[in-house]
Structure formats: structure tokens, C-alpha cells
Chains A and B, each alone.
Chain A
Amino acid sequence: MKRLSRYRRHRFAGPVLLVFALFMIGTTFSVASATTQKSASTLVRSAAIDEGRQIFLKGCSSCHGLNAEGGSIAPSLIGVGAAAVDFQVGTGRMPMADMSVQAMRKQPAYTPDEVAALAKYVASLSPGPAIPTQDVVNYERDGNTAQGGELFRTNCAMCHNFAGQGGALSQGKFAPSLMSSEPVQIYEAMILGPQSMPVFSDKVITPAEKLSIIKWIKATQSEPAHGGASLGRVGPVTEGLLIWTLGLGLLIGIAVWLATKAR
């Protein structure tokens, strides 16, 4: 202590102290201001989560539980990720209109912003699959239609029909038509496996292959009706119906006319 007090009156003591003080102030300020910035971003995110939580409490908690822990009629949402919310709520399947065999696609009950908030809230509970970004789902650039068609016929057509028109499953469940599905939703469905659909992990169908499937589905949505009316693209059932009604009906009508006696 003696040593320090000996230089107390040194002529450089003042400037050194000033430099030291400035350094301390600067450091303190930079540390303090950084903390302020960080806490502001946390605040914004928690505001979105909060908004999502409010929507959740109003619209979802009666079935999924106040903390999304699930209940006797609805599964836990802890760990399902933002992608699940984006798919289920974004396509209008959730909230369910009725508790029948499966959730139906319908007009979404929430705006895209509300869906995003809800997704953030559910994702904040525990990590899960994130919503694929537009850059990931760049199917126009990274997909191959013909390869996608082959993958679709191998993995998807058995339930969704050869042209993505959907098909029946057991006990009233069904694979929906894909004719109005959006690329991100299709991608999400493949990684999530909603309802009766199996999960197609990135090991089973690689991300590039997923994009090819999406490209083929988009091409099929705008596929022109070669050869006239497509009759629903469900195979020979509608063809048989048409020949018995219009085809034979027309010809019997003409036969009756031909066999009518001239008056």
C-alpha cells in the first residue's frame, strides 16, 4: 500500500487515472449496452411467443391442455415443432371442426401472422422440426419432374392415387387430394407424417428427392387434360359410368327414334 501511496502525488498520476477511468467507463458502457440489446430481442421474441400462447390458450388449450401437455382427446404438442403447427393450422385442419375420423382441410381459422405466432409458441416448448424456408423448398431449381413422378408412384400413389387425386383408407379415413396443396405444406407433410401418413425421413426420401416429388405434384396440378374431359382422374369407374349413361343412353334414344313408325 505504501508503494501505491508513494506515487499518489506523481505528476503522471492524474493522466493515468484519467486513462484508466475512461477505459473503465468505455468497457462498462459496451458491456452494459450489449446487455440492453440482447434483452430487447428476447423481449420481441417472447412477445411473439406470448401472442402465440394467448391464441393457444383461447383456441387450442381446451383439447391440448393449458401447457400443450395433451389430454384424453388430443396429443401433447411438446416437441412437435413449428412445422407441425404450420401444416395443421395453416391448412385449416386444426382447430378440428368435429372429432370424427380425421381432420379435414378447410379455410384456415387464423391469419398467417397468427399461425406464425402459434408456431413460435409451440416451438418454444421444446425443439422440433422447423418450418422449411423458401430457400430449402426451391423445387423449381432443385427438383426433377420425371424422377419425382417415379418417386411419387413408388411412395405416395398407393394412397394418394396415380394423379394425386386422393384415395380411400380403412374405416372412413382417406388420403386427401393434393391438387390444391402448396409446396411448403407438401414438404412439411413428408417430414411430419400427419394423421395416417407415414413419416418420410430424409434418409428414406432425401431433401432433393422431396423437391422432385413436389415439382411433379405441381406439374400434375397444372397438367392439361389431354384427350378431353379428365373424368376426375380416378381410373375406369367413371369411364364405365359414362358409357352406361351417356353412351348407351344416347344410342337407345336414337334406336327408339329409328324404330318409331312414321305417322
Chain B
Amino acid sequence: MSASERVGGQVANYVDERTGAAKWLKKNLTKVFPDHWSFMLGEIALYSFIILLLSGVFLTFWFDPSQREVLYEGTYQPLSGLKMSAAYVSTLHISFDIRGGLLMRQIHHWAALLFMTAIVAHLLRVFFTGAYRKPREFNWIIGVGLLTLGIVEGFLGYSLPDDLLSGTGIRIAEAIIQAMPVIGSYLAFFAFGGAFPGDTFIPRIFTVHVLLLPGIFLALITVHLMLVWYQKHTQYPGPGRTEKNVVGYPLMPIYMAKAGGFFFIVFGVIALLSALASINPIWLYGPYTPGQISAGSQPDWYMGWLDGLVRMAPPIETHAFGHTISWNILVPGLIVPGILFTGMALYPFIESWFTGDKREHQLLDRPRNAPNRTALGAMSLTFIIITILNGGNDIIATHFSLTINQIMWFSRIGIFLLPPLAYVITKRLCLSLQRADRDLVEHGRETGRLMMTAEGEFIEVHEPISKEKAWMLTQHEQLTALEHVTEDEHGIRNPKTMGGKLRARLSRADAEQIQKPGGDSHKEIDSY
């Protein structure tokens, strides 16, 4: 035993005698994680969050969250001598006078965009593979919570510099608060400490942005990861992978090295983007004054769907009893997002209700083998993409020689027509892919070799596929639809007729599937 090993052992022993960590570490350092690129999307979000914390702390050293009016006499000449808030001045100071300040600002903002992008990509992976099913419904809800908070946190973050664009965003947020019937105007006065813009909003959202929300984030992310740890990670189906095991690499050393390395790669990509591409050039936007607005004012992309919904709403207002209800803000700004996010959070429960599937699932679905879910996902995605496109309708109009009116009408009609169309097309595609799989299992792979029979007939030679592959293509369950019983054997009517019929209808849609290969070939594959 070398000297270093002896010293290392003594230190480890010293720590272990006082903490009892050895037993815990021995168990957990060998914990196995399955390996797949799509399992690293959540990691990108996690690492972006760490980068956000670090770069955010740097920015707070110089940022002055105050709406106190000051005269700018700093380095950036095109704004010299103008009146603006201390928050804006300090952001200019960070951008132009603090060494590395602009890079840090850009790192913070690009990391925020990547954080949200990775969260959505991770969410799509979890949805389309059915990873949210029992026992992971709570973790799905935590994820939806993180997404929602991320949108709020991002919005508050880019509102802090008090530039023209961010002020415009806050103004719209105020309008959405005011659109709430009865309580709206009171709530807006409460949030802004009086009439818009006031001088208390920036300090308030600063506290929320740097203290409250990051705290909640840390807590939720910890629970999110602990649940992954406790419930173990899901895995894609494959030979030797069952509902009872996890096939992959141990945490120490392989996964630790991979994950640690990946952190630095994520940091590197963010730093690269921040060094090469400008983001949120607040000095060009100018300081915020309520009387000014820029053409093409947009929110960051993760708010774009909300902006797009508001932009496509027809101008409808109701005046009654001395009150105005702005349906054009209330519906797209509050009601539709409420339905979207509630539906998303509850989806695991809704699905298990109409499939009647209450079992635990550790193996993921191939999206094609769950055509109904995949089609529902494509439908929701189409909805959101239309809204995001409409949110950028002015930029699209100028850059692709279209008119805003065309895009708005396309969105207004498309928002009702295209998502159902996407559902139908995706479902057909999934069933076609299942048929192709079945064909592959039953008839083997096309070799491209042509053979002429004695009668002069040409046949393409097919080769049987490998057993692993055949297992992969047939491992999924054959879904069966739930039957709705309207009357029992004594002729007593089922009282749950309405819900029951809906449930049976949804279940039938869910169970639509191509028959798996049967007969002898199937048995042979099963015995593998």
C-alpha cells in the first residue's frame, strides 16, 4: 500500500467513523442508470440551472433594482444625458464597464433560454415515451410546476433591466392581471403599488426573481431528482430489460464521469453562444417610458405562445353594470393557459382513467406503439407551434413577404383545424409504422437480391431479422379497449352512463392498434 493510499484510507475512515457515510455511499455509488441520449435532456436543464445560479450571483453584485430616476452619464454615448431608472443604468454599467459583464449577462440570458428549451424537450421525451405513468405521476406534476415557474422566472428576469422591451412586457402582464373580472384592477394596484408603472415593481420582482423563485426551484429540483433516485430511472425496452430491473452503468465511475463531463459541455456551449451571439441588447432598446413602443416587440420564446394567443383573439369586450370584461385578454391570457396547464398536469391521471391501467411501468413505450398518446402529443404540439408562430407574426410577415392579416387568419382558423388534423395524421403514421414492424417480423428484411423462379417469376429474397430485433418489435402489449356496461345481468342500468360512455370512447381510441404477429413465429420470439 502506497503512502497516498494509506493517507486516503485514514481520511476516509476518519470521516466514516463520524458520519457513517460509507454504507450509504457503497449502496448508492453503485446505483445503475440506463444510458440513452434522450435521458440527458433533463440534465441539460439541470446544468443550465446551475449556470444560471452562478452567473446570476455575479450580476447581483452590480445590479441596482431601483426605479429611482437618474441622469445617465456613462460610457454608452447614444444614451448620454437621458433620464432613466437606476436599474437600467446599472444594467448598462454591467454591459459596458464591468470587465466580462456583458459576457456574464449574455451567459445568464442564453442559459435561461436553454433552461426552458431543455425543460420542454425533456417534457416531450417523458410524454411521448409514457414515462409519467405510475409510479411517476407526482414527478410529472413537479415537472409541470418547474416549467410554469420557469416561464414566470424568465419573464421576471428579462423585466428587471427596465428597458423599453421589458417595460412593454410588464405592461402586457398588467393588462392580463387587470382582465381578471372583479379582482383584476385591485390586484394590479396591489402588484404595482398604485398606478402603472409606479416605482415599486422592479424592486419587488427582483426579490421574487433572486430569492423566492430560485428557492422554490432548488426545493422542487431536489425532490424531482430524489424521486428519480428513489423510483429508479425508466428504461427503453430491450432484450434483458424488464419491469423489475435496470440495465445500465453504475453511477461511480462511469455515469459520474459522463454527467460531470456533460456539465462542462453544456457550460461550454452556453459560453460559446454568449461569446458569439448577442442577446437582449438593452442599450438598443433604450430606457422604458410608457409612451414608447417598438415595432416587433416580442417576449422570449417561452412566452411566445401566450403572446400569439392574445394576438389572434378577436376584439370582444362586454360592458355590464359599469364593469368591462375584456374577453380578448381574459380568454387567451388566463382561461386557455389555465386549461392547458391543468390538462397537462392531470394528464397521467386522465390517461390511467380511460385506459384502466393502474399498473407500475418501468419500461418506456416506443411512441408508435402508443398511437393515441403520440397523436395527442402531436396535437398539443401543433397547437403550441401555431400560437408561437402567431406570436412572431410581424417578424414573419416582414421576413417572408407575408401580411400580418394573412398570418392572423391562418392562426385563427388553423388553431381549430390543424391540431385535430395532426392527431389523425400522427395516429395513421403510428399505425403504419406498426404495420411495417409487423411486416418485418413476419417476412424479414428486404435484401435487395432478386431471384427468378423456374416459371420466370421474380421474387425478392427476404432475410429473417435478428432475434433481438424481433423481440424489440414485439415486446409491446396488445392493447384492449374497456367495455362500457350499460346494464348488468339483472337489467339494472349503470348509473355512470355519461362518464362511462366517454371513458369507453376514449379507451377505444386508445386501443386502436395493429395486431401483433401471432402464430408460431410469435411463440418462438416469446421464448427468446
Q: Which residues of A contact B (CB under 8 A)?
A: 101, 145-147, 149-150, 153-154, 157-163, 165-172, 174-175, 216, 219-220, 223, 225-231, 233-244, 246-248, 250-252, 254-256, 258-259, 261
Contacts of A147 in B (CB 8 A): 81-82
User: A229–B95 Cα gap in the complex (Å)?
Assistant: 16
How long is the Cα–Cα vector from A242 to B39 in the complex, in angstroms?
23
State whether A226 and B273 are in contact (beta carbons under 8 Å apart), knowing that A150-B82, A157-B292, A158-B293 are contacts in the complex: no
**Distance (whole angstroms) from the CB of A260 to the closest CB of chain B:** 8
Given known contacts A158-B294, A161-B295, A251-B44, A166 and B398 CB-to-CB distance under 8 angstroms = yes
**Would A243 and B113 be within 8 Å (CB), given that A154-B292, A166-B295, A216-B78 are in contact?**
yes
With a CB–CB cut-off of 8 A, which chain B residues contact A258?
Answer: 37, 40, 258, 261-262
**Cα(A225)–Cα(B279), bound, Å:** 11
- A235-B37 contact in complex given A161-B295, A226-B102, C-beta closer than 8 Å: no
Instruction: With both chains docked as a complex, state the minimum distance between the C-beta of B101 and any C-beta of chain A, in angstroms.
Output: 11
B291 CB–A CB distance under 8 Å = yes
B298 at interface (Cβ–Cβ under 8 A)? yes
Which residues on B are within 8 Å of A, measured CB to CB?
Answer: 35-41, 44, 77-82, 95-96, 102, 106, 110, 113-114, 117-118, 121, 164-165, 258, 261-262, 265-266, 269-270, 273-281, 283-286, 289, 291-301, 304, 392-395, 397-398, 401-406
* Contact between A168 and B397, CB atoms less than 8 A apart: yes
Q: How far is the CA of A220 from the CA of B81 in the complex (A)?
A: 17
Residue of A nearest to B301 (CB): A240
Closest residue of chain A to B112 (Cβ to Cβ) is A243
Closest residue on chain A to residue B300 by CB atoms: A236
Q: In the complex, are the beta carbons of A248 and B281 less than 8 A apart?
A: no
The answer on a CB contact under 8 Å between B106 and A227 is: yes
Give chain B nearest CB distance to A147 CB in angstroms: 8
Residues of A within 8 A of B36 (CB): 259
Interface on chain B toward A: helix, strand, loop, or mixed SS? helix
Whether A167 pairs with B398 at a CB distance below 8 angstroms is yes
Q: From B38, B269, B280, B295, give the contact of A168 (CB < 8 A).
A: B295
A-B CB contact pairs (8 Å), 22 listed? A150-B286, A157-B164, A163-B284, A167-B295, A168-B393, A170-B404, A170-B405, A174-B398, A220-B78, A223-B284, A227-B278, A229-B278, A230-B281, A231-B278, A234-B296, A235-B298, A236-B165, A240-B301, A243-B114, A243-B117, A243-B301, A258-B40
Query: Quick one: given A157-B292, A168-B397, A246-B273, are A235 and B165 in contact (CB under 8 Å)?
Result: yes
Q: Shortest CB–CB separation between residue A168 and chain B, in angstroms?
A: 4
Please state if A158 and B295 are interface contacts (CB–CB under 8 Å).
Answer: yes
Q: Quick one: which of A160, A170, A236 contacts B301, CB cutoff 8 A?
A: A236
B403 contacts across to A, CB distance below 8 A: 101, 168, 170-172
Which of A145, A154, A220, A239 makes the CB contact (< 8 A) with B300?
A: A239
Q: B270 to chain A: closest CB distance in Å?
A: 8
Instruction: Take A237-B395, A244-B301 as given contacts and tell me if A256 and B37 are in contact as well, using a CB distance cutoff of 8 Å.
Output: yes
Query: Is A231 a contact of B294 with CB atoms below 8 Å?
Result: no
- Give the CA-CA distance A149 to B301 in the complex, in Å: 27
Nearest chain A CB to B59 CB, angstrom units: 15
Chain A residues, CB < 8 A from B280: 236, 239
With both beta carbons as reference points, the residue of chain B lying nearest to A148 in the complex is identified as B78
Contact, CB under 8 Å: A175 / B295: yes
Cα distance, A161 to B102, chains bound together (Å): 23
Contact, CB under 8 Å: A251 / B273: no
- Find the A residue at minimum CB distance from B275: A228
Whether B110 and A243, one on each chain, are in contact in the complex, defined by CB atoms closer than 8 angstroms, is yes
List of A residues within 8 angstroms of B294 by Cβ: 153, 157-158, 161-162, 167, 235
**Distance (Å) between the CB of A57 and the closest chain B CB?**
33
Q: Which residues of chain A have C-beta atoms less than 8 A from B401's C-beta?
A: 172
Given A146-B82, A239-B113, A247-B113, A230 and B278 touching (CB < 8 A)? Answer: yes
Shortest Cβ distance from residue B468 to the other chain A in the assembled complex, whole angstroms? 14
Please tell me if the beta carbons of A247 and B269 are within 8 angstroms of each other in the complex: yes
Q: How far is the CB of B35 from chain A (nearest CB, A)?
A: 5
Contact, CB under 8 Å: B41 / A255: yes
Instruction: Output the nearest chain B residue to A150 by Cβ-Cβ distance.
Output: B82
C-alpha gap A223/B278 in the complex (Å): 13
Measured between beta carbons, the chain B residues less than 8 angstroms from A229 are 276-278
CA distance A237 to B394 in the complex (A): 10
- Whether A259 and B286, one on each chain, are in contact in the complex, defined by CB atoms closer than 8 angstroms, is no
State A250–B262 Cα separation when bound (angstroms): 12
- Complex CA gap A237/B36 in Å reads 31
Bound: A105/B40 CA distance, A: 49
Residue of A nearest to B40 (CB): A255
CA gap between A26 and B280 in the complex, in Å: 79
Please name the residue on chain A nearest to B302 by beta carbon: A240
Cβ of B116 to closest chain A Cβ, rounded Å = 8
By Cβ-Cβ distance, the 7 closest A-B pairs, closest first, are: A167-B295, A240-B301, A172-B403, A162-B294, A227-B278, A255-B37, A168-B397
Q: Check B265–A254 contact: CB distance below 8 A.
A: yes
Whether the pair A167, B277 counts as a contact (CB closer than 8 A) is: no
Give A85 Cβ to nearest chain B Cβ, in Å: 27
Taking a contact as CB atoms under 8 Å apart, the answer to whether B404 and A168 are in contact is yes
CA distance A254 to B106 in the complex (A): 22
Determine whether the beta carbon of A240 is less than 8 Å from that of B304.
yes
B295 in contact with A157 (CB, 8 Å): yes
With A162-B286, A167-B398 as known contacts, state yes or no: A235 contacts B404, CB within 8 Å.
no
CB neighbours (8 Å) of B80 from chain A are 145-146
In the docked arrangement, what's the CA distance between A163 and B297, Å?
A: 12
Contacts of A248 in B (CB 8 A): 44, 114, 117-118, 121
With A and B bound together, what is the CA distance between A158 and B276 in angstroms? 29
Given the known interface contacts A168-B394, A248-B118, the answer about A235 and B297 at a Cβ–Cβ threshold of 8 Å is yes
Out of B40, B291, B295, B298, name the residue touching A159 (CB < 8 Å): B295
**Distance (Å) between the CB of B306 and the closest chain A CB?**
13
A-B contact sample (17 more), CB < 8 A, given A167-B294, A235-B298, A237-B392: A149-B78, A149-B79, A153-B286, A157-B164, A162-B164, A162-B285, A162-B294, A170-B405, A226-B281, A227-B277, A234-B395, A236-B304, A239-B277, A240-B113, A244-B301, A248-B117, A258-B37
